[in-house]
Structure formats: structure tokens, C-alpha cells
A and B are shown apart, each in its own frame.
Chain A
């Protein structure tokens, strides 16, 4: 089904009998009983699997001189040591910046250098320490600030934009902000480490793995191993978190496949937690200069957002200025992204790449502008609303944009009017208390997505798609979609996900998954409805409800219409150019109240809240969970997350969960999430938009702004740790 004209007419989804309502997750009982199988647990699929342990590079850049595996091979239980010398020829997939197996060149610290395969986990782990690798070490670059001047305009993408005369307008502006913000490297730190069980049958490879994008995984594995796509099967029904870290197959999958080929039996490999931060991808650090010029009425005349980030040679920039291109009005504007080469592992997408850290800077700068204008920060954002893409003009309106409503509703629910705009005025015992806010903004991306939907003779509906559920609630919203479309209860739908034998889907990433994949199911269901109606001899006006197809006074049960062998169709949604014609994005507002300990500078978040507009909310219960979780990740970005590079060695020093801090229960207060009523008929026939990443966008800035309001210390270097607070208090 082509989706190239807005879904202005009512469609079956608009009934909202099942969709748009809160449902407990259909995979909930499996998850709470520990019976949902994750990658490393698929023992029944591959009995007799041997265990692989990855040896990571001890250097960041350089060359392997020699690998001595003799001691490892002689160790008890060891079956094989796989290195570039014996792995066979490998290619690099387009999605990979660095190779999944080093050799002879080393591209980053903890890049896989070898896989030790042994009978047991304990044997493999021990023997891995016996592989002796000699390197010639280059001089790593690990400090973005030091490399900033060497940064270049990246090839590809759209690194720069410019409209009007920024320099002139900024110079003339009545009120100006010109500040530089820095954000550190972040690690996805999903709870389930990357893991894969690989098994070969002849030249056919099966991977039970943990991956967000099954179709990419198949392609990248085939490319890497130089085998036909058809020979690769990837299965990933449950994924213990991804946040972008599992968008692409990583070395666990590649090394498991190589190990299994080498020993002639299945091999299971998981990355050890201390390896993950340097072996896999991370969100790159940024330096961001914001210049905003406004009139005394607060209207922005000039806005510029310049971003510097780093990556391995051949990598790509953190597109932190993207939000600035669309969020606020202003005739004179420019954005730029510059990219330096750093030897810190692969920089890549993490939840809301671009916006998540871009708004840490932009929304802090807006707070500074509001203060200079002596204007309420909510009001400043309201006067700078735009209903069209400010770089393109009125020819490109937003498909739907409820930023102003989100700001007003959010402020009202939070009690924003009680905020004292003067910093450092509110005390509660030892705490200085402050409130802050920020706009939330995240692109709405749509991706083609397919599904196979069948009805059996008993009327049971089964949906199969390679779509993944990374905690997003996909199983449930797909079941809701199929239930709504086919007129059956939620319990009447079986959903099977994550298997490359199913039709290729949008996958989970960039908050496109929910909207795109359910639209794919919608498309398949529409085709199925047509076929079933035809089979039952109905015209196109037949309705699907209560397990029956009805037209006029005649009804046929779904199972009966499907026939003895059932009816199965495959279709997909293909998105046209509506996202070119219309700017598509999700909007919201974040509000936070924090306490700052007057003595120690410790920051504790007391309350968070916000209002969000993201089209039709398919399952408010799981959507709300996505938003609160993303808000908490925003707390992490604001207050603690900091992957610290040591430029001398070119690696992240604090590479485990004891030292790289993510928020714990005690850091996260009550969170109020309100969804505005919105249908976006230009986004998809679901009239939904993404919501999985919106919650992180702006959340951290709201906290930073609250910290300033609490204690009067403006920190532009994230995270806002207590040392920076007390330095400002002194």
C-alpha cells in the first residue's frame, strides 16, 4: 500500500475500539516470569553450543604485529581461536564504520581481535587472557576539544544550512545570547549485553541475536561474511534494550558466526559488560555554539547553531543542530556540523541522535535568552512558534504541530506559575529549589514496513513481521492494530516478531517503529479484509466487527470466510513524499523541579512533568512508559552520564556500570505525562507519530534550567555534577 495522500477520510483504525486505549502488554506475563527468551538463552534452538569469548584490542589505533594463540589453544576445553589470520576473507558492511574483527589494523580500543571458543564459558573466558597479541601502537586522538580545529565539513547528509543574513541580523539584534555548551560521550548501557548464538547448517547461517533492525542485520551479516543474503537468518524476538546500540550487528554476531564456522557447531557469544562501551557504539560528545538574537518582544531574528563532534575515520557527525532547523521561527539562521577524527570507537546513534544533545544546548540557550529578556521561558517559546519549516518557508507546513498547546498544558499541570523567576530564592531546608522547562522536539520519520497477516479457520488472527520489540510495546500495539482492523478482540491476535523469515519491517529506531510498523500491519490487514470479503461474497462496504464480516443483514464469521486452510496475505506500507511536502515532527514540553543541596551541590530531581503531542497514541499505557523512561534518560544526560575518554590511550576509562552512572530508582521521582489529543493524517494511515524518543528531547535541559533557577549557577558543560555546582556557588 502506497501512502502518498493524507488519510483525511475515516478508516477502520479511527474506530478506536482497541487501538488508542491502554492495554497491558500481551508479552507481559512472559517477561515477568522470566520465560521470554533473550538471545543468549536460546539453548533449545542450538543445543551443544560452545562458548565464545571476545579478546578486545589493548590499543586504540595501530597494527597487530603478531598473535600467539598457542597457550590459549592448549588450555582446557579450548576448541579454536579465531583471528583475522584464520577467519577467512571478510568485508565491511556499509553500516559499520570500523571492522567487526580487527587485523592487521586496529581501529579502536576493545575492537575484537580474537574469539576464543571453548566447551564452557569459564574456559573460554580464562583462555582469552592467554592470547598474546603484540601491537605497534599509533598515537590516539581522544580529546574533541583538542581536535576541534581539525574538524572538517562531513561528506554526505546536510551538514550546513543557511537562510537570510544571520551575521547581520545577529549584530543588529536587541538581545543576544552567544554561549558554548558541551555534552560528553554517552553509552547506551542497555541491560542486556549484545549477545548471539550462531549456528551453521551447510552454508546457511542462523543467528539468534539481540538486534533492533532485522533486515539490516541480515544484509550486514551477508556483506561481512561475503555470503548471499538468502543464506542468513536472524531471529530476535526479545531484545533487552537497544536505544540505538543494537541497530546494527556488532562483533558478538560476527564473531559467533565465525566461531561456529570454525568449530563446526553452534557458538554463543556475549560481550562482557566492561567491553561494551569501547567495543560497540556510543553517542559522541559535542561542542555546540549557540547564538540567538531577538527583539525586545522576544521574537527571534537570528539563530545559529554550530556543532563539533568526532568519530572514527569515515564516520559521521552527531547532528545536534537538526532540531534548531525546525523548532523556532526566525528569518536569519544557520546551522553547521563539523567532524573531527577521534580514536574512541564508533560514534553513532543513541536514542534521539541529534535532538537529544542538541536540545541540551538549544533549550539551555533559550533559558538564558528568556532571562536576558526578562521574559517567562514558556512565553518566549510561544512567541517563537512557527507553523512551517522556517528554513523552507510557508511552502512546507508542519503536518501537525501542537507545541504551544503542549507548553500551555504542561505549564498548567506542573504549576509553573508558582515559579519564582529569580534564581536562588526558594529554600526547603538544606535544599535550594528551582523549576525549569524546555520544549520537546523530535523528528517524525517514517520507514516502509511489511507484514504478513493471516486468519485461520477458527478466526484466530496471526501477524508476522520482522519488526522488533525492544521494550517499546510493539507486540501489543501490533496486536491492537490487527484486532481493530479485523474486528476481533486483542486476545484473538497472535503476534510473531523479530524473525527474518517474516516480511521486512521498519525495525526499531529513530522512533519510527511504532507508527511505521503498525501502518505496515494496517496495509496487510486492508488487503486481507478485501480478500476475505471477496471470499465471502461481500462488496467493499463490508464491516469487520465482533469476529464477523457483515454487509447489510448478512454476516459471516472471520474463520468461515478464511476457509478451512485459512487466508494469509503479505503487504507493506510504502511512504511517499508526504514527509517532504510536510515537515513532520513530534512536540512537547518538559518541566522539572530540582533541589540543590546548598552545601554539597548534589542535585536531586523532585518532580518532572510534561505534555506531548505525537499523533494518535496507540497504547497510552506503553507510550507513557516510553516517555517516562526517556525523561529518566534525560536525567542521566543532565546529571551523571559521562563516558570519559583518556586521550593518552584513546578509550573510555569508566567502561562499566559501576563507573558509568545511569540513573537508579532513587534518582527518578514521580513523572506526570499528558498526551495531547492529535491525529496526524499526513504521517500514516494510523495517524500516529513516533513517541519513543520524544521524551528525552529537552528533558535534560529542563533540569539544567531548573538547577539554574534553584541555585543561580549556570553550567554549560554537561553533566551537571556537584563539583561544577559548588564551583559556581563559591
Chain B
């Protein structure tokens, strides 16, 4: 871990100002991913701005009947929130399927969105990785790729986004709320928040330098049968091999987002449109153009099988 200076911000505005003054600074909240990466010098901020004391830890109703989740709401608290459990059960389920109790107690809503990939080559600084060091190459392509992406990949990067929470937020059409160092606020639909790797896998979100996430809003509840299905070999404390977040309505319509398969929570409108045609139709549409490796090609049929089971579960 490289040396850094540290300050506690006492307001979002102060945090924004601090980041403006320190281009090589980073915000730290839960720290569960950032410190992990700093120890390996994958992240090397020269200054840390502790944003834990900004009061952004509330879950509130919005005027349009939706919900606003403060950026610093801990994963545990969000999962346990009575309204989330009742109206956004897929989110609660996704949260409790992730990490461990200890990590969920620290990990925040914004930090979870900003988690970086678990690709093992990203984690080993002796290996090439375009995400960590643009232009160095991708060791995962042609390497150990069982856990990596099967769709939306590029010849520069096949990393996945590791979050469960974000997959549920994607299916719920969440919006990420930010503030820029100049005070300007922005609402970013979660569909546009995470990026595909393309030729710049080091740029993972649409956040601008210094832009600070203040919260996430959810539209008013959409009801339906909400299911989060996470598939993994180890029964707990493991990232998703694949995961499915779905909201299925009694009329047969539905929405589907997939985790563990792409550089971002994966959702395809054309797939949602086929909800009434069943799992195979949805999976085929969602994974049209999939480009897996030999090691992770199983994820495509796995998604379809799992989705079929989710449909069955929803009907039961």
C-alpha cells in the first residue's frame, strides 16, 4: 500500500471540493474493495477522503412512490429494510446472497456499484491486464477464464462485474444519483452507469473524474414475483458463477438481468420482450452474440437452465 494522506469529509460538498483539489484522491466508504486493492497496489491513491460521515445512510420514500437509497447505506441495512423486503424483494435477496455478513456490514450501496472485477489476472500485478495497465494485454484471454464474461466482451478484456446488488438494481431500473465537484447533480440510469470493456476496460463506469455518488433511486414498486437466483459451486461466500434477477408479472411479462456474465449487469430489452415465450426464448435473446471462451461456454446453457427453473419457481 502506497502512502496517502487522509481526511474525513463532513459534507458531500466538502468531499467534492476535496476531490477537486486532489486529482489523485479517492473516496473511501466501506473500504472492503478499495483497501483490498490498495494492499496489492492495484489502487494507488495519494489521498483518501473518508465519506462515511456524510449522513448519506438513509433509505427514504421518494415523492413518486419510489425509494431513495443513500450512497452509504450498508448492504446489511438495505437488505433488512422493511420496505425493500416487501416491495423490492429481488434487491434484498441479491444483497444477502453476496459476500459475508461481515462484509455486508461495511460495504455500501455506492461502493458495491463501484466494485472492481475479481479476474485473477487483474489481481496479480506481475501479469498483463488492460484494465489495470492499459495496453499491457489481457492474460485472461487464453488463460483461466472459467469465471469470466461470456457476452459484451472485447479482445481487450473479458472481466465480469462481481456485484449481486447491481444486478437487482438493473432489473429494477434504478438510477444513480451523483454530484460533481462543481456541485452539478446528475441522474444516471443504471443501464448507462456500467460500461462494457471495449478498448478502454480501465474505464468501468460513466462517472466523471471526481463525480461522487450520493444515492440510488428506485422507481415505485412494480410488484410481481421477484426472484434472485445465484449459482455457485460453494454454497456461500462466493461470487456468482452466474446469477439471475427477475421480476415476473402475472400477465406473463417480465424483466431479466444477469450477473457473472458480463462487464456490467446484463439486461437486454429484446429478451424482456420475450418473457411470455418462456426461458429458452428469453435466454436466447439475452445471449445472442455471446462470445464465451472454451472454459466458460457452459455459462450460456447454464443461464438457460437456471432461467427455466426460475420460471418454474415463479409459477409455483
Q: Is B truly associated with A? A: yes
Within 8 A of B (CB), among A359-378: none
CB of A179 closer than 8 Å to a CB of B = no
CB–CB B298/A648 < 8 A: no
CB–CB A664/B235 < 8 A: yes
Q: In the complex, A661 Cα to B306 Cα: how many Å? A: 22
CB–CB B143/A646 < 8 A: yes
Q: A648 — which chain B residues lie within 8 A by C-beta?
A: 139, 142-143
CB of B1 closer than 8 Å to a CB of A = yes
From the candidates A599, A644, A666, A667, name the one contacting B305 in the complex (CB within 8 A).
Answer: A599
Within 8 A of A (CB), among B221-245: 231-239, 241
Q: B306 — which chain A residues lie within 8 A by C-beta?
A: 599-600
Q: A71 — which chain B residues lie within 8 A by C-beta?
A: none
Closest beta carbon of chain B to A665's beta carbon, Å = 7
Q: A649-B127, A723-B298, A723-B302 are in contact. Are A654 and B144 (CB under 8 A)?
A: yes
From the candidates A430, A654, A665, A726, name the one contacting B302 in the complex (CB within 8 A).
Answer: A726
Nearest B residue to A668 via CB reads B235
Q: A600-B309, A640-B233, A727-B298 are in contact. Are A122 and B144 (CB under 8 A)?
A: no
Q: A661 — which chain B residues lie within 8 A by C-beta?
A: 233-234, 238
Q: B233 — which chain A residues lie within 8 A by C-beta?
A: 602-603, 639-640, 661, 719, 721-722
Nearest A residue to B36 via CB reads A658
From the candidates B142, B236, B305, name the one contacting A726 in the complex (CB within 8 A).
Answer: B305
Q: A666 — which chain B residues lie within 8 A by C-beta?
A: 234-237
Closest beta carbon of chain A to B314's beta carbon, Å = 13
Q: In the complex, A603 Cα to B139 Cα: how many Å? A: 30
Q: B127 — which chain A residues lie within 8 A by C-beta?
A: 649
CB–CB B235/A653 < 8 A: no
From the candidates B40, B144, B231, B237, name the one contacting A646 in the complex (CB within 8 A).
Answer: B144
Q: A600 — which chain B residues lie within 8 A by C-beta?
A: 231, 302, 305-306, 309
CB–CB A667/B298 < 8 A: no
Contact with A along B7-31 (1 / 0, CB 8 A): 0000000000000000000000000
Q: B302 — which chain A residues lie within 8 A by C-beta?
A: 600-601, 722-723, 726
Can you identify 15 A-B contacts, CB atoms within 8 angstroms?
A129-B41, A274-B40, A599-B306, A599-B309, A648-B143, A653-B120, A654-B120, A654-B144, A661-B238, A664-B234, A665-B236, A722-B302, A723-B146, A726-B298, A730-B301
Q: In the complex, A655 Cα to B238 Cα: how many Å? A: 15
Q: A654-B120, A664-B236 are in contact. Are A125 and B1 (CB under 8 A)?
A: yes
Within 8 A of A (CB), among B27-49: 39-41
Nearest B residue to A722 via CB reads B233
CB of A598 closer than 8 Å to a CB of B = yes
Q: In the complex, A640 Cα to B40 Cα: how many Å? A: 26
CB of A604 closer than 8 Å to a CB of B = yes
Q: In the complex, A719 Cα to B309 Cα: how many Å? A: 24
Nearest A residue to B126 via CB reads A58
CB of A14 closer than 8 Å to a CB of B = no
Q: A665 — which chain B residues lie within 8 A by C-beta?
A: 236
Q: In the complex, A617 Cα to B306 Cα: how many Å? A: 47
Within 8 A of B (CB), among A692-730: 719, 721-723, 726-727, 730
Q: In the complex, A76 Cα to B3 Cα: how many Å? A: 10
CB of A41 closer than 8 Å to a CB of B = no
Nearest A residue to B242 via CB reads A600
Residue of B2, B234, B308 ringed by the most chain A CB atoms within 10 A: B234
Contact with B along A472-508 (1 / 0, CB 8 A): 0000000000000000000000000000000000000
* CB-based closest 4 A-B pairs: A599-B309, A666-B235, A666-B236, A723-B298
Q: In the complex, A122 Cα to B4 Cα: how many Å? A: 12
Q: How large is the interface on A (under 10, 10 to 19, 20 to 34, 35 or more residues)?
A: 35 or more
Provide the main secondary structure of the chain A interface. loop
Q: In the complex, A665 Cα to B143 Cα: how many Å? A: 31
Q: In the complex, A665 Cα to B235 Cα: how many Å? A: 9
From the candidates B234, B301, B305, name the one contacting A663 in the complex (CB within 8 A).
Answer: B234
CB of B118 closer than 8 Å to a CB of A = yes
CB of B193 closer than 8 Å to a CB of A = no
Q: In the complex, A599 Cα to B121 Cα: how many Å? A: 30
Nearest B residue to A727 via CB reads B298
Nearest A residue to B125 via CB reads A129
Q: A126 — which chain B residues lie within 8 A by C-beta?
A: 1-3
Q: In the complex, A50 Cα to B94 Cα: how many Å? A: 45
Q: B308 — which chain A residues lie within 8 A by C-beta?
A: 599
Q: In the complex, A655 Cα to B301 Cα: how many Å? A: 28
Q: In the complex, A285 Cα to B306 Cα: how many Å? A: 32
Closest beta carbon of chain A to B260's beta carbon, Å = 12
CB–CB A122/B1 < 8 A: yes
Nearest B residue to A57 via CB reads B126
Nearest A residue to B295 via CB reads A723
Q: In the complex, A598 Cα to B305 Cα: how many Å? A: 9
Nearest B residue to A603 via CB reads B233
Within 8 A of B (CB), among A89-133: 122, 125-126, 129
Within 8 A of A (CB), among B271-316: 298, 301-302, 305-306, 308-309
Q: B126 — which chain A residues lie within 8 A by C-beta?
A: 58
Contact with B along A621-661 (1 / 0, CB 8 A): 00000000000000000011000101011000111101101
Q: In the complex, A655 Cα to B40 Cα: how many Å? A: 13
Nearest A residue to B297 via CB reads A723
Closest beta carbon of chain A to B181's beta carbon, Å = 29
Q: In the complex, A604 Cα to B124 Cα: how many Å? A: 31
Q: A646-B143, A653-B144, A656-B123 are in contact. Are A722 and B235 (CB under 8 A)?
A: no
Closest beta carbon of chain A to B238's beta carbon, Å = 6
Q: A653 — which chain B residues lie within 8 A by C-beta?
A: 120-121, 124, 143-144
Q: In the complex, A664 Cα to B232 Cα: how many Å? A: 13
CB–CB B235/A604 < 8 A: yes
CB–CB B118/A659 < 8 A: yes
Q: In the complex, A648 Cα to B144 Cα: how many Å? A: 10
Q: In the complex, A690 Cα to B49 Cα: how many Å? A: 56
Q: B143 — which chain A residues lie within 8 A by C-beta?
A: 646, 648, 653
Q: B144 — which chain A residues lie within 8 A by C-beta?
A: 644, 646, 653-654
Q: In the complex, A640 Cα to B126 Cα: how many Å? A: 26
Q: B1 — which chain A residues lie within 8 A by C-beta?
A: 122, 125-126
Q: B238 — which chain A residues lie within 8 A by C-beta?
A: 661
Q: B121 — which chain A residues lie within 8 A by C-beta?
A: 653
Q: In the complex, A185 Cα to B83 Cα: how many Å? A: 47
Q: B118 — which chain A residues lie within 8 A by C-beta?
A: 658-659
Within 8 A of B (CB), among A579-622: 597-604
CB–CB B234/A640 < 8 A: yes
Q: In the complex, A620 Cα to B71 Cα: how many Å? A: 52
Closest beta carbon of chain A to B119's beta carbon, Å = 10
Q: In the complex, A31 Cα to B142 Cα: how many Å? A: 46
- Other than the given A648-B142, A667-B236, A719-B233, 14 more pairs (CB < 8 A) read A76-B3, A125-B1, A129-B41, A599-B309, A600-B302, A600-B305, A640-B234, A653-B121, A653-B144, A654-B144, A661-B238, A663-B234, A664-B236, A664-B237
Q: In the complex, A659 Cα to B118 Cα: how many Å? A: 8
Q: B237 — which chain A residues lie within 8 A by C-beta?
A: 664, 666
Q: A274 — which chain B residues lie within 8 A by C-beta?
A: 40, 123-124
Closest beta carbon of chain B to A258's beta carbon, Å = 23
Nearest B residue to A730 via CB reads B301
Q: A646 — which chain B residues lie within 8 A by C-beta?
A: 139, 143-144
Q: A125 — which chain B residues lie within 8 A by C-beta?
A: 1, 39
Within 8 A of A (CB), among B143-185: 143-144, 146
Q: In the complex, A689 Cα to B110 Cα: how many Å? A: 56
Closest beta carbon of chain B to A432's beta carbon, Å = 13
Closest beta carbon of chain B to A275's beta carbon, Å = 11
Q: In the complex, A730 Cα to B237 Cα: how many Å? A: 28
CB–CB B231/A722 < 8 A: yes
Q: A649 — which chain B residues lie within 8 A by C-beta?
A: 127, 139
Q: A430 — which chain B residues lie within 8 A by C-beta?
A: 309
Q: A656 — which chain B residues lie within 8 A by C-beta?
A: 123
Closest beta carbon of chain B to A21's beta carbon, Å = 35
Nearest A residue to B147 via CB reads A659
Nearest A residue to B142 via CB reads A648
Q: B40 — which chain A residues lie within 8 A by C-beta?
A: 274
